[in-house]
Chains A and B, each alone.
Chain A
Amino acid sequence: MKYTYKIITMFVVLLAMSGTSIQAQGKSQDKVKGKKEKLKKTKKDVEDEVEDYQEKAGEIEDKTKKVKEKSKDRVKGKKEKIKKEGDDEDYDLGDDDFEVKEEVSNEENGDKKLKKEREKGNKGNGYGRDKGEMSGEEFGNMRASMAKEKIEKSEKSFDENEETLKKGRVKVKEAKERVQKQREEEVFDEEVLEKKEEKIRKAEEKLNELEDVIKKGKEKVKSSSEEIEKVITPVE
């Protein structure tokens, strides 16, 4: 009787234990199933988002292509207009033609600027704001020294253009003397001589403009240089 009681108790205990383990297994299987479903759902969401972004990117690309084509057509049209309407010599062109010419060059310059900006954007560490493993101060100083290099480069460009200015002044002086001589010798008609003088005047005007731009540029670079010096802090 005593053994029978013991056997029954053990059987009940074993039964209870096996029941718990089955329940636990069931629970863990449910959990895994749930996780799998969640994973599937997340995967689907991500795929949907990627598809959306791809569609958007495609749309943007199409738009960019259209805008590029349009601007190309416009530039082409304007160039043809200039070719048709304009004379070979600039002083024969009307004011409207000058505007069209300027617009064309502005659009071309716009394209160049865009390219430059894109290039700048791709230059990464040096031009961006990702300082990598450098400290803020070190990175700031590095960028400042890069700006200083740019300033030096601009100063060189000013020197070169000043040389062009000097040579231009000499050329204008020589041209004036030549035309004066031609007038005295009566080699050409007065009309031809006037056209030549107009060319000289135009060149002189451009030289004056260049001188002015260089002067202003130098002032700007000087103030920029001072600003950079203010920004730089010594690294300890």
Chain B
Amino acid sequence: MKTIKVVMASILFAGITSCGDDKKEQEKLDHTLDAIESVEQDIDETIDKVEKKSEEVEAALKELDNL
């Protein structure tokens, strides 16, 4: 009876610990993904800005062809 109790307790402990680990891992992953997504968004915005400005430059340079 005592042995069964010990085994049950250890199973319960292992279960609780693994649940805690999963939660921690998920939090860490969420943090990582947030950081990555924000970086990606920054890069997208930067590229958009550069492309837009480049288009403006090309249009302005085209005007110089007719001088």
The chain A residues found within 8 Å of chain B, CB to CB, are 109, 116, 129, 131, 135-137, 139-140, 143-144, 146-147, 150-151, 153-154, 157-158, 161, 164-165, 167-168, 171-172, 175, 178-179, 196, 199-200, 202-203, 206-207, 209-210, 213-214, 216-217, 220-221, 224, 227-228, 231
Contacts and interface: CB of A to CB of B under 8 A. Distances in A.
B1 interface: no
Q: Is the interface of B mostly helix, strand, loop or mixed?
A: helix
Contact of B64 (A131, A158, A199, A224): A199
A158 B50 CA distance: 8
A151 B16 CA distance: 41
A215 to B, nearest CB: 10
Given A116-B44, A164-B58, A210-B54, 4 more contacts: A129-B33, A171-B64, A199-B67, A227-B39
Contact of B35 (A109, A136, A231): A231
Interface residues of B, number: 30
Contacts of B63: 199, 202-203
28 contacts: A129-B30, A140-B29, A140-B36, A144-B32, A147-B40, A154-B43, A157-B47, A157-B50, A164-B54, A168-B61, A175-B64, A199-B64, A199-B67, A203-B61, A203-B64, A206-B53, A206-B56, A206-B60, A210-B54, A210-B57, A213-B49, A217-B49, A220-B46, A224-B39, A228-B35, A228-B39, A231-B35, A231-B36
A209 B63 CA distance: 17
B26 interface: yes
